[in-house]
Amino acid sequence: MKDWEKVLVSPETTIRETIKIIDESSLQIVLVVDKNNRLLGTITDGDIRRGLLRGKSLESSVKNIYYVSPITGSVKDDADTLHKLMVRKFIKHLPVLDNEGKVVRLEILKEILQKNKHSNPVVLMAGGLGSRLRPLTDDFPKPLLKVGGKPVLETILENFISAGFGTFYISVNYKAEMIEKYFGDGSKWGVEILYLREEKQLGTAGSLHLITERPTLPFIVMNGDLLTKVKFEKLVDFHNSNNELKKSMATMCVREFNMQIPYGVVKKDGNKLLGIDEKPVQRFFVNAGIYVMEPDVLDIIPRDTKFDMTDLFGKLLEDHKETVIFQIREYWMDIGHMKDFEEANGEYDNIFSM
């Protein structure tokens, strides 16, 4: 933020002066510092309101009303780390300090989002029953199950926000009201969330026809039960480059899956033994549940009919439409099975902690 020094005040500043600074800066925050610019605390409208309710006057100093334990960033942290910290902690302002605790700048979440924002919509599929995770999903929809102490869909949302995406559709059906209550309109995260409400199970692609305002840019579709560190902005760039070169209609993310045969595999010619391959490993590429689509793909999806992504890509191939794959090499985990859910909980802090 430019001119961040204007929101620095001393502990002796009056509440009246502080209110004026907050109003003039339009940031809704001031930073209380000592004479060496070391951060002592922060003041927002709420701190002022609470001080006045305790009997402080407008001419009182702010020394007894400022918040003494604000979340701060370090000058050693890169911009991406600071951004993710703000998203995770739901804070709009982040003082960045040097090794001596001096304020060196003030990060503003709104400015970061505007600077890095991608206009491509993101559709998160969160309408499944989660049958394989019962009894956990008897009371909660799978996307609200907590991994690492927070709903898996919240981690997905925050990863997209950190990558600069701000427009989201969430497809809901099973216990939809719980998901909508938790995420609301997205304002808590500074983004826009709309809902695709399935009156019946429409599969992993069928609800896309519920998008009322046709996208003008390629859009991302992702299952709401995945944890991954894939770089979404690079995925969109990859799709765009292939669309320009090959007129690709859709990109499917894939990941390598290895399966070891637990026996020696015999090579033969009739009755003649040619060799033995001891416990060989077979390698496959499997669908990772993340896609980028051109808007015209929506014309292929039938209305009010169960239609999966495999059906959609099958139709594209049948119609000789160009499709490409994007290999995920980063962390990826589908929490659809109890074993994977438990494994993801065990790995979460190491993978997603700041």
Upper half-sphere CA count for residue 142 (Cβ side, 13 Å)? 27
| Residue 117 tokens, joined | 């924002």
Cα Rg of the chain, angstroms: 26
Dist. CA 207–CA 304, nearest whole Å? 8
Give catalytic status of residue 306 as yes or no.
no
Non-local (6+) Cβ contacts of 338 within 8 A are 132, 133, 136
Other Cβ atoms less than 10 A from the Cβ of 29: the count is: 21
Dist. CA 112–CA 40, nearest whole Å? 25
Name the strand (E) or helix (H) holding 92.
none
Dist. CA 302–CA 310, nearest whole Å? 14
Which of the following is catalytic: 76, 200, 247, 279?
279
Active site residues: 279
